[in-house]
Protein backbone atom coordinates (compact mmCIF):
# COMPACT_ATOMS: atom_id res chain seq x y z
CA UNK A 1 0.00 0.00 0.00
CA UNK A 2 1.28 3.45 -0.91
CA UNK A 3 1.60 6.09 1.79
CA UNK A 4 -0.83 8.96 1.27
CA UNK A 5 -2.42 11.95 2.94
CA UNK A 6 -5.68 13.90 2.78
CA UNK A 7 -6.12 17.48 3.97
CA UNK A 8 -9.01 18.44 6.25
CA UNK A 9 -10.31 21.93 5.48
CA UNK A 10 -12.48 24.00 7.80
CA UNK A 11 -15.06 26.00 5.82
CA UNK A 12 -15.22 29.30 7.68
CA UNK A 13 -17.72 30.91 5.33
CA UNK A 14 -19.97 28.60 3.28
CA UNK A 15 -21.20 31.49 1.13
CA UNK A 16 -17.75 32.61 -0.07
CA UNK A 17 -16.10 29.22 0.20
CA UNK A 18 -13.31 30.61 2.40
CA UNK A 19 -11.57 27.60 3.97
CA UNK A 20 -8.44 26.77 5.91
CA UNK A 21 -6.40 23.54 6.18
CA UNK A 22 -6.63 22.49 9.84
CA UNK A 23 -5.41 18.88 9.82
CA UNK A 24 -4.16 16.08 7.61
CA UNK A 25 -4.97 12.38 7.68
CA UNK A 26 -1.85 10.36 6.93
CA UNK A 27 -1.99 6.70 5.90
CA UNK A 28 1.24 4.76 6.21
CA UNK A 29 2.43 1.95 3.98
CA UNK A 30 0.91 -0.62 6.37
CA UNK A 31 -2.48 1.12 6.40
CA UNK A 32 -2.09 2.80 9.79
CA UNK A 33 -3.74 6.24 10.06
CA UNK A 34 -2.36 9.20 11.99
CA UNK A 35 -3.48 12.82 12.32
CA UNK A 36 -1.14 15.75 11.73
CA UNK A 37 -2.22 19.19 12.92
CA UNK A 38 -0.61 22.63 12.98
CA UNK A 39 0.61 24.04 16.28
CA UNK A 40 -1.90 26.88 16.08
CA UNK A 41 -5.36 27.30 14.57
CA UNK A 42 -6.70 30.32 12.64
CA UNK A 43 -8.23 32.90 14.99
CA UNK A 44 -11.44 34.88 14.63
CA UNK A 45 -9.64 37.59 12.62
CA UNK A 46 -8.52 35.08 10.01
CA UNK A 47 -11.80 33.17 9.98
CA UNK A 48 -13.97 36.27 9.77
CA UNK A 49 -16.10 35.71 12.89
CA UNK A 50 -15.97 34.60 16.49
CA UNK A 51 -18.67 32.02 15.72
CA UNK A 52 -16.42 30.27 13.21
CA UNK A 53 -13.46 30.41 15.61
CA UNK A 54 -15.51 28.82 18.40
CA UNK A 55 -16.77 26.07 16.06
CA UNK A 56 -13.22 25.21 15.05
CA UNK A 57 -12.00 25.26 18.64
CA UNK A 58 -14.81 22.91 19.69
CA UNK A 59 -13.82 20.41 17.01
CA UNK A 60 -10.08 20.40 17.75
CA UNK A 61 -10.14 17.36 20.07
CA UNK A 62 -12.32 15.40 17.63
CA UNK A 63 -9.89 16.23 14.81
CA UNK A 64 -6.99 14.82 16.81
CA UNK A 65 -8.85 11.52 17.33
CA UNK A 66 -9.81 10.80 13.71
CA UNK A 67 -9.09 7.21 12.70
CA UNK A 68 -10.67 6.78 9.25
CA UNK A 69 -8.78 7.69 6.09
CA UNK A 70 -11.90 7.30 3.91
CA UNK A 71 -14.38 9.76 5.41
CA UNK A 72 -15.07 12.30 8.14
CA UNK A 73 -17.61 11.58 10.90
CA UNK A 74 -21.16 12.71 10.15
CA UNK A 75 -21.27 15.06 13.11
CA UNK A 76 -18.52 17.16 11.48
CA UNK A 77 -21.24 18.36 9.10
CA UNK A 78 -20.64 20.71 6.16
CA UNK A 79 -18.04 22.82 7.98
CA UNK A 80 -15.26 20.30 7.27
CA UNK A 81 -14.21 18.88 3.91
CA UNK A 82 -11.67 16.25 2.90
CA UNK A 83 -9.45 16.52 -0.17
CA UNK A 84 -8.61 13.66 -2.50
CA UNK A 85 -5.68 11.42 -1.46
CA UNK A 86 -2.18 12.56 -2.40
CA UNK A 87 0.99 10.47 -2.39
CA UNK A 88 3.49 10.81 0.45
CA UNK A 89 6.96 9.32 1.01
CA UNK A 90 6.90 5.78 2.40
CA UNK A 91 9.39 6.58 5.16
CA UNK A 92 7.99 8.75 7.96
CA UNK A 93 5.08 10.14 5.91
CA UNK A 94 3.58 11.96 8.90
CA UNK A 95 6.78 13.94 9.47
CA UNK A 96 6.97 14.81 5.77
CA UNK A 97 3.34 15.99 5.78
CA UNK A 98 3.98 18.11 8.88
CA UNK A 99 7.03 19.77 7.32
CA UNK A 100 5.21 20.32 4.02
CA UNK A 101 1.76 21.43 5.13
CA UNK A 102 2.20 22.76 8.66
CA UNK A 103 5.77 24.05 9.07
CA UNK A 104 6.70 25.91 12.19
CA UNK A 105 6.41 29.65 11.54
CA UNK A 106 8.27 31.92 13.94
CA UNK A 107 6.89 35.37 14.58
CA UNK A 108 5.77 37.00 11.36
CA UNK A 109 8.01 34.95 9.07
CA UNK A 110 5.15 34.11 6.74
CA UNK A 111 4.21 37.69 5.90
CA UNK A 112 7.45 38.61 4.05
CA UNK A 113 7.06 35.53 1.83
CA UNK A 114 3.62 36.65 0.68
CA UNK A 115 4.87 40.17 0.17
CA UNK A 116 7.88 38.91 -1.78
CA UNK A 117 5.89 36.93 -4.31
CA UNK A 118 3.48 39.84 -4.64
CA UNK A 119 6.20 42.38 -5.42
CA UNK A 120 8.04 40.03 -7.78
CA UNK A 121 4.83 39.20 -9.62
CA UNK A 122 3.91 42.84 -10.05
CA UNK A 123 7.40 43.69 -11.31
CA UNK A 124 7.18 40.85 -13.85
CA UNK A 125 3.89 42.16 -15.27
CA UNK A 126 4.92 45.83 -15.10
CA UNK A 127 7.98 45.06 -17.23
CA UNK A 128 5.69 43.59 -19.89
CA UNK A 129 3.41 46.60 -19.99
CA UNK A 130 0.51 45.08 -18.04
CA UNK A 131 -1.27 47.49 -15.69
CA UNK A 132 -1.69 45.16 -12.71
CA UNK A 133 -3.38 46.16 -9.47
CA UNK A 134 -2.97 44.67 -6.02
CA UNK A 135 -5.46 42.97 -3.72
CA UNK A 136 -8.82 42.31 -5.33
CA UNK A 137 -11.73 41.77 -2.98
CA UNK A 138 -15.38 42.65 -3.68
CA UNK A 139 -16.76 45.35 -1.38
CA UNK A 140 -18.04 43.90 1.89
CA UNK A 141 -16.73 40.38 1.22
CA UNK A 142 -15.04 38.57 4.12
CA UNK A 143 -12.34 36.75 2.14
CA UNK A 144 -8.61 36.98 1.74
CA UNK A 145 -7.91 39.27 -1.23
CA UNK A 146 -6.44 37.87 -4.43
CA UNK A 147 -2.87 39.11 -4.74
CA UNK A 148 -3.17 40.79 -8.17
CA UNK A 149 -5.84 41.59 -10.70
CA UNK A 150 -6.15 43.12 -14.14
CA UNK A 151 -9.43 44.65 -15.25
CA UNK A 152 -10.31 46.23 -18.56
CA UNK A 153 -12.93 45.95 -21.30
CA UNK A 154 -11.77 42.39 -21.95
CA UNK A 155 -12.78 41.25 -18.47
CA UNK A 156 -11.55 40.70 -14.93
CA UNK A 157 -8.45 38.54 -14.43
CA UNK A 158 -7.55 37.37 -10.92
CA UNK A 159 -3.91 36.45 -10.50
CA UNK A 160 -1.72 34.66 -7.95
CA UNK A 161 2.07 34.67 -8.58
CA UNK A 162 4.28 31.80 -7.44
CA UNK A 163 8.04 31.78 -7.01
CA UNK A 164 10.08 28.62 -6.52
CA UNK A 165 11.80 28.56 -3.14
CA UNK A 166 14.63 26.59 -1.62
CA UNK A 167 12.35 24.86 0.90
CA UNK A 168 9.47 22.61 -0.16
CA UNK A 169 7.27 23.73 2.72
CA UNK A 170 7.58 27.38 1.67
CA UNK A 171 6.42 26.60 -1.85
CA UNK A 172 3.64 24.41 -0.45
CA UNK A 173 2.45 27.35 1.68
CA UNK A 174 2.43 29.66 -1.34
CA UNK A 175 0.56 27.13 -3.49
CA UNK A 176 -2.01 26.52 -0.77
CA UNK A 177 -2.57 30.26 -0.24
CA UNK A 178 -2.87 30.97 -3.97
CA UNK A 179 -5.37 28.17 -4.61
CA UNK A 180 -7.43 29.00 -1.51
CA UNK A 181 -7.69 32.66 -2.55
CA UNK A 182 -8.72 31.83 -6.12
CA UNK A 183 -11.23 29.15 -5.10
CA UNK A 184 -12.87 31.44 -2.53
CA UNK A 185 -13.14 34.26 -5.05
CA UNK A 186 -14.57 31.95 -7.72
CA UNK A 187 -17.26 30.75 -5.32
CA UNK A 188 -18.03 34.29 -4.25
CA UNK A 189 -18.33 35.72 -7.78
CA UNK A 190 -20.44 32.80 -9.00
CA UNK A 191 -21.48 33.22 -12.61
CA UNK A 192 -19.80 36.60 -13.03
CA UNK A 193 -17.21 36.28 -15.83
CA UNK A 194 -13.61 36.29 -14.66
CA UNK A 195 -10.33 34.58 -15.42
CA UNK A 196 -8.38 32.80 -12.68
CA UNK A 197 -4.64 32.33 -13.13
CA UNK A 198 -1.72 31.13 -11.07
CA UNK A 199 1.44 32.20 -12.86
CA UNK A 200 4.92 30.90 -12.12
CA UNK A 201 7.84 33.25 -12.34
CA UNK A 202 10.56 30.61 -12.40
CA UNK A 203 10.86 27.09 -13.78
CA UNK A 204 8.47 24.64 -12.17
CA UNK A 205 10.01 21.22 -12.63
CA UNK A 206 9.17 18.11 -10.65
CA UNK A 207 9.17 19.95 -7.31
CA UNK A 208 6.17 22.06 -8.23
CA UNK A 209 4.22 19.22 -9.80
CA UNK A 210 4.79 17.07 -6.69
CA UNK A 211 3.30 19.71 -4.42
CA UNK A 212 0.42 21.14 -6.44
CA UNK A 213 -2.87 19.46 -5.44
CA UNK A 214 -4.22 16.94 -7.90
CA UNK A 215 -7.76 18.27 -7.46
CA UNK A 216 -6.89 21.71 -8.86
CA UNK A 217 -10.19 23.15 -10.06
CA UNK A 218 -10.90 23.30 -13.78
CA UNK A 219 -11.45 27.05 -13.68
CA UNK A 220 -7.86 27.72 -12.58
CA UNK A 221 -5.12 28.08 -15.16
CA UNK A 222 -1.46 27.49 -14.33
CA UNK A 223 1.05 29.37 -16.47
CA UNK A 224 4.78 28.60 -16.52
CA UNK A 225 6.32 31.88 -17.66
CA UNK A 226 9.64 30.19 -18.46
CA UNK A 227 7.88 28.61 -21.46
CA UNK A 228 7.93 31.37 -24.13
CA UNK A 229 4.68 30.18 -25.74
CA UNK A 230 2.84 30.11 -22.41
CA UNK A 231 4.20 33.48 -21.38
CA UNK A 232 3.25 35.09 -24.70
CA UNK A 233 -0.31 33.74 -24.59
CA UNK A 234 -0.69 34.79 -20.93
CA UNK A 235 0.47 38.36 -21.54
CA UNK A 236 -1.73 38.71 -24.62
CA UNK A 237 -4.72 37.54 -22.58
CA UNK A 238 -4.07 40.25 -19.99
CA UNK A 239 -3.37 43.01 -22.52
CA UNK A 240 -6.29 45.34 -23.29
CA UNK A 241 -7.69 44.96 -26.78
CA UNK A 242 -7.31 48.03 -29.01
CA UNK A 243 -10.58 49.74 -29.80
CA UNK A 244 -11.84 49.21 -33.34
CA UNK A 245 -12.12 52.32 -35.47
CA UNK A 246 -14.24 52.80 -38.54
CA UNK A 247 -12.42 54.37 -41.41
Question: Is the pLDDT score of 44 beyond 80?
Answer: no
What is d(CA 216, CA 182) in angstroms, rounded to the nearest whole number? 11
Which comes out higher in pLDDT, residue 215 or 241?
241
List domains and CATH numbers for the chain. 4-101 (no CATH), 110-238 (3.40.1350)
pLDDT value of position 27: 94
pLDDT digits (tens, 9 = 90+) for 14-39: 777 788 899 999 999 889 999 999 88
What are the distances in angstroms from CA 47 to CA 16, 39, 115, 173, 242?
Answer: 12, 17, 21, 17, 42
pLDDT of residue 167: 57
Under 8 Å between Cβ of 16 and 22: no
Out of 4-18, 43-57, 199-213, least confident range: 199-213
Backbone angles phi, psi at 7, to 5 degrees: -95, 135
Cα 121 to Cα 105: distance, rounded to the nearest angstrom? 23
pLDDT in tens, 176-223: 777 777 777 877 777 666 666 556 555 455 556 566 655 566 777 778
User: Can you say how many angstroms the Cα of residue 49 is from the centroid of all Cα atoms in its chain?
Assistant: 21
Cβ atoms of 94 and 26 within 8 Å: the answer is yes
**φ, ψ (nearest 5 deg) of residue 245:** -120, 145
13 CB-near residues (< 8 Å, 6+ apart): 47, 48, 52, 142, 143
Residue 90, SS3 per DSSP: coil
Q: pLDDT value at position 193? A: 60
pTM over 0.75: no
Predicted confidence at residue 241, as pLDDT, reads 74
The pLDDT of residue 16 is: 74
Hey, what's the torsion of the CAs at 203, 206, 207, 209, to 10 degrees? 90
* pLDDT at residue 169, rounded to an integer: 63
* Nearest CA among 6, 16, 19, 11 for reference residue 180: 19
How high is the pLDDT of residue 111? 40
Q: pLDDT tens-digit profile of 106-160? A: 543 444 334 467 888 888 889 999 988 888 877 666 566 788 899 888 888 888 8
- pLDDT reported for residue 1: 78
pLDDT at 194: 63
Amino acid sequence: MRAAYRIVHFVANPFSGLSFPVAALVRGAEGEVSVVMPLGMPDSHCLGSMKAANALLAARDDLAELTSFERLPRHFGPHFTLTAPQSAPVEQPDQWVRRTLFPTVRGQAKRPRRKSRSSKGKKFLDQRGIAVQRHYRPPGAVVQPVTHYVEHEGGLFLLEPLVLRSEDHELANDIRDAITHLRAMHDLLGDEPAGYYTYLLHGVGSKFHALVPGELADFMRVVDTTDPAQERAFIETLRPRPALTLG
